[in-house]
Structure 1
Amino acid sequence: MNILVTGGAGFIASHIVDALIEAGHRVYVIDNLSTGSREQLNEQASYYEVDILDERIAEIFDETKPEIVIHHAAQIDVQTSIQKPMFDAKINILGTIALLEQCRNHSVRKMIYASSAAVYGTPEYLGVDERHPLRPLSFYGISKHTPEHYIEAFSHLYGLDYTILRYANVYGIRQDPKGEGGVVSIFVDKLLRSEQPIIFGDGEQTRDFIYVKDIVSANMAALEKGSRGLFNVSCNEQTSVKELLQLMSELCGTTFAPEYRAPRAGDIVHSRLDNTAAAQLLNWEPRYSLRDGLKETCDYYRKLY
């Protein structure tokens, strides 16, 4: 198939591009390199350095004739969304609408959209399933949720198929600790540089961490399954930030007492996403335990430091 991947030079989507090419698909990547990296681009993918809001997008759709669009290009940082809500909305909401219009105009069969656990806000219960109320605490959560409605409306009005994947806290190789990296990449960087890790809050807050390779397999499953569906992609497990740091210190062979700072605005206390729907309808489940995923990540980065 011809598959267009937005944000394909970034952390998660570059892994998806690799898997698509390995599976024999023709892959086209759109990325403006604002957070992505040329070094992460698969040489076998056709690459367009362009913003998703650029008018040249129409020409790219004309040229590539994608059957499926996998949409990962986004502003992904909660704190940036709070500081720059207009910037956040422009990329995440208007950018998605621009892509949807091209999907309609060029008879794209399906969009696979990367959404986020941030759409739920403070959980009313754990594990959070797809029927949980949506009360995002940050502009990022709003800007990731709003495109879900546009995607559903484009599907209803124009017949575009879709699968929406709401990711838990993704970690793994290629995540940038210097930019908008998650806590795992930041901890790896601090530990391997013998610098003191920082914990915002008391460290008892919990997250549902999922390895990037499991995210990849969910996207691959969505190529043919999950029609007009919305799915949590998670491990369905809670791990505190303190426990995470302790495990990573063990795997990295280092020990450091963290520096504690005040909690950050827009951060929830506890999170765990129920992944039952993905197991049933995508025939997907995570293959990596937290220890296994962290070990692979730490081993990779230890060779670079």
Structure 2
Amino acid sequence: MTMELGSQRLKGRVAFVSGGLRGIGLACVERFLAEGAEVVLSDLDAADSEAATSVLARLGQAASYVSANVAREEDWERAVAMVKERHGKCHVLVNNAGIDLTGPVESLSMEGWRRIMSINVDGVFLGTKHFVPMMAESGKDFRGGSSIINVSSIMGLVGMNEVSAYNASKGAVRLFTKGIAIEFCQKKTPIRANSLHPGFVETPLLKAGFQRWVDQGFAEKPDDLVAGVVASTPIGRLAQPAELASAAFFLASEDSSYMTGAELVIDGGWTAQ
């Protein structure tokens, strides 16, 4: 999967990335732009917020932004309308926005359970539902068609202590992706769908999660948890967001034209043990 950065392999394509202001989402936006795509990104931040305006100023005119809550259907309808008005097409959808929830199952609140499912699962469903008509039409432009990339996790493949809600949400993303992939094939809809399964990635979400574990008494400081994860990962380090963006670029490009319903695991060997 070694590819030359900035090879313009996505020239002529339009991509939408949810959760695009930070972490893996932002890295995907940057990589897609470097490869010649036009990108619309969304996040919860207001369009005139410092986070959104500073990122857009750095990304340039090929990027645009829409504030959206992925758990709200009307926000997806508005996002699709914006993409259609601005570009008239969409070839790549990265359903990346997500949150985590940890703790013993008996301590989890129904409110917390519903919230993680609404963002991690409903958000993927709604993004897919509303972008499919435009992506089906746009998919006729390129070999392999359009590409839906749903960001799951290694926690969608294996269980982990006190991560049951996150496990459930990311496992749902994995199987939803397989279901729509077969559906598109059966209907001869020119859209591929694959799931991306990151391991431990150095992102704001991971840092926030580790801080909560420290607050709950699992460790004295986040660095202790990082050290534990690094020690349990065969490659011996955390992943960088750009490494996940490279995998997303592969799934977005024609190089993965025969790939659908698959899960791409980028975890430094963590689940191979």
Give the Cα separation in 2 of the matches to 1:211 and 1:103: 29
* 1:2 corresponding residue in structure 2: 14
* 1:273 corresponding residue in structure 2: 271
1:232 aligns with 2:265: yes
Q: Residues 80, 94 of structure 1: CA spacing in aligned structure 2 closer, same or farther, 3 A cutoff? A: farther
Q: Residues 136, 121 of structure 1: CA spacing in aligned structure 2 closer, same or farther, 3 A cutoff? A: farther
SS in 2 for 1:57: helix
1:46 to 64, 69, 91: 64
1:76 aligns with 2:103: no
RMSD: 3.4
Q: CA deviation at 1:69?
A: 0.4
* 1:62 corresponding residue in structure 2: 84
1:220 to 249, 259, 265: 249
Question: Deviation string for 1:172-206 (max 9, x for gaps)?
Answer: xxx338x953559x99xxxxxxxx725788x7565
1:112 aligns with 2:152: no
SS in 1 for 2:271: coil
| Worse overlay, 214-223 or 162-171 | 214-223
* 1:162 corresponding residue in structure 2: 193
Point out the structure with the larger helix share. Answer: 2
Unaligned runs of 5+ in 2: 1-12, 137-145, 215-219
Q: Residues 220, 200 of structure 1: CA spacing in aligned structure 2 closer, same or farther, 3 A cutoff? A: same
1:95 to 123, 136, 140: 123
Q: CA deviation at 1:166?
A: 0.6
Give the Cα separation in 2 of the matches to 1:218 and 1:49: 26
Give the Cα separation in 1 of the matches to 2:17 and 2:170: 17
* 2:208 corresponding residue in structure 1: 181
TM-score, scaled relative to structure 1 = 0.60
* 2:36 corresponding residue in structure 1: 24
1:148 to 170, 174, 196: 174
* 2:113 corresponding residue in structure 1: 85
Q: CA deviation at 1:105?
A: 2.3
SS in 2 for 1:169: coil
Question: Deviation string for 1:115-147 (max 9, x for gaps)?
Answer: 101123348xxxxxxxxxxx9941111111112
Q: CA deviation at 1:156?
A: 1.9
Q: CA deviation at 1:80?
A: 11
TM-score, scaled relative to structure 2 = 0.67
Q: CA deviation at 1:62?
A: 2.8
Identity %: 16
SS in 1 for 2:239: strand
User: Is contact 1:121-1:137 (8 Å) kept?
Assistant: no
Give the Cα separation in 2 of the matches to 1:26 and 1:56: 18
Q: Residues 176, 151 of structure 1: CA spacing in aligned structure 2 closer, same or farther, 3 A cutoff? A: closer
Q: Residues 80, 32 of structure 1: CA spacing in aligned structure 2 closer, same or farther, 3 A cutoff? A: farther
Question: Deviation string for 1:65-108 (max 9, x for gaps)?
Answer: 21110111112343599450000111111111111111322234
Give the Cα separation in 2 of the matches to 1:25 and 1:70: 13
Give the Cα separation in 1 of the matches to 2:43 and 2:199: 23
Q: CA deviation at 1:40?
A: 3.7
Q: Residues 56, 204 of structure 1: CA spacing in aligned structure 2 closer, same or farther, 3 A cutoff? A: closer
